[in-house]
Copies of this chain bind each other. A is one copy, B any other.
Amino acid sequence: MSASTQDLAAARARIAAAYDPAALESAGKTLVETLADHLRNVQSRRTNVLNWRPPKELVRESRGFLNSPPLPFGEGPGEDSASAISVDMIPTVVARFNDVTREILARGQNLHHPRYVGHQVPAPVPLAGLFDLVGSVTNQVMAIYEMGPWATAVEHAVVDAVGEQLGFTAGTFAGLVTSGGTLANLTGLLAARNVSIGNSWSAGLSGCAPAPVLVAHADAHYSVTRSAGILGLGTDQIVPAALDDRRRMDPNRLEATLKDLRSRAVPIIAVSAAACATPIGAFDPVPEIVDVCQRHGVWLHVDAAHGGALAFSPRYRQLVAGLEHADTVVCDAHKMMFMPALCAMLFYRNPAHRIAAFHQDAPYLFDPLVPELAEYDSGVANLECTKRAAAFGVWGVWSLLGPQIFADMVEVTIDTARQFYEMLVAAEDFEPLHEPQCNIVAFRFRPAALRDAPQAEFDTFQLQLRRRVIESGEYYLVQSKIDGRPVLRTTIMNPLTTPDDMRGIMDCLRRRGRELLR
């Protein structure tokens, strides 16, 4: 046996150990117990929301793990047996695995803590994570149907079912799942660009005059404005659509904008509306905007990443009425469907547009013998080539619990936000900035001591106070800017958050505010 052959035999032994199903089984069972205990602690408010630590420290620590001596995997008595890890070794593996995973849990953001009321990222349904585990361990991917037949089928089923819930008619639309709302917005706007400017995919935009524009909600998410930068339009080519006094796109002023652009023969890629926009969760009047866009023959894109899921609730679905008349609609399952990141959906009213965003030749992917399979090859419609089975979680939770659970989570979180708003209205030292349409509430805290403070001091106080609160671990909330001024903002993204928790955040802000002012 040459040295090289010996090396390879040793390598094969180590690999067999790493791939041993017994290690997965044993470590996995312990992990599931650890996760359940973690959820119990977090959900019962016995821990911090955020275990704040400065980034440099954490980076150093996480790098430290990579430099620690590895386990003696693939060595010892088990190496040639059917099970490559000897039974004696499994406790060592599990113990080390357990140490490592506990370190992860001790240093994270605890979204399942009912006092996590921050970004538009949910405390997900825990069972959804188990469906992700199936996808990860077995690596069910797409690009072509063959590589993930069930992953593909599940994606089709989920896109169909959610699309129908949004109001599209079964069998008349198309959709896809992609790695995040930003990518979904980019893909929809790319399709719009390619359709609006017929040769832009192949010829590019360099010869395009006058320069095309994107008409976007003045409060559009940064992924929409970014898209103009990415797609070669240029962010200067964004024409902001004017808002009404509740920060919703104003259809009359949109009409005037489009009329003006058309009169100057400026190519319009799309109008990008929001349901809802992020600052205060305002829902655009989609039916009126649809009318305006149809009148001018302009592609309508609606970023319903956050609000699309309101369609599951009989109580709130009127806020997203009319989505089915938009050309493209984005809805993130990892927002108000309470799924783990990332599972974003893009819908096309016209199914022929599903392949409008990308054009390519990848001969090693598509089989010319069975061209009918290409409809099921996600690669033709998605930016991603290899793509996770991102819809397993939605599909699994829906299969077990039915669509009612999505309605429940929408209704409970919006109700909690509205109760919080009422508390803010009733309090003398809080300024709610809008009546909430959904689970987003922006406000300011104005203690008596700052009643006559200069605006700059008062604004900085909001930011300082938020930082003090989140670093304390008591609550997690975020800041935003409205009309250029900082505000506090909560989104109820954990359906276990109660009105009492929201009463508590007011007390917490008062207490931490007093500390800060001392």
Contact = CB atoms under 8 A, between A and B. Distances in A.
13 contacts: A15-B412, A25-B35, A25-B36, A55-B153, A65-B399, A70-B402, A107-B153, A119-B144, A119-B147, A180-B385, A181-B385, A201-B234, A232-B232
Given A108-B151, A200-B234, A133 B127 contact: no
Interface string A453-473: 000000010011001001000
Interface string A37-58: 1111001000000111101001
Interface stretch (A97-105, A245-253, A257-265, A506-514): A97-105
Contacts of A226: 358, 360, 383
A342 B386 contact: yes
A334 to B, nearest CB: 7
Nearest to A96: B400
A369 B108 contact: no
Interface string A326-366: 00000000100000111000000000000000111111110
Contacts of A35: 21, 24-25, 28, 133-134, 137-138
A146 B27 contact: no
A334 B134 contact: no
A126 interface: yes
A380 B97 CA distance: 32
A11 B4 CA distance: 64
Contacts of A118: 146-147
A285 interface: no
A411 B322 CA distance: 56
A16 interface: yes
A360 B371 CA distance: 41
A239 interface: no
A182 B385 contact: yes
A108 B15 contact: no
Contacts of A110: 138
B362 A222 contact: yes
For this chain, the copies found in one complex come to 2
Interface in A144-167: 144-154, 156-158, 160-161
A195 interface: no
Interface in A98-138: 100-101, 103-105, 107-112, 118-119, 121-138
Contacts of A27: 127, 130
A14 B148 contact: no
Contacts of A158: 66
A428 to B, nearest CB: 26
B136 A124 contact: yes
A517 interface: no
Interface in A412-457: 412, 415
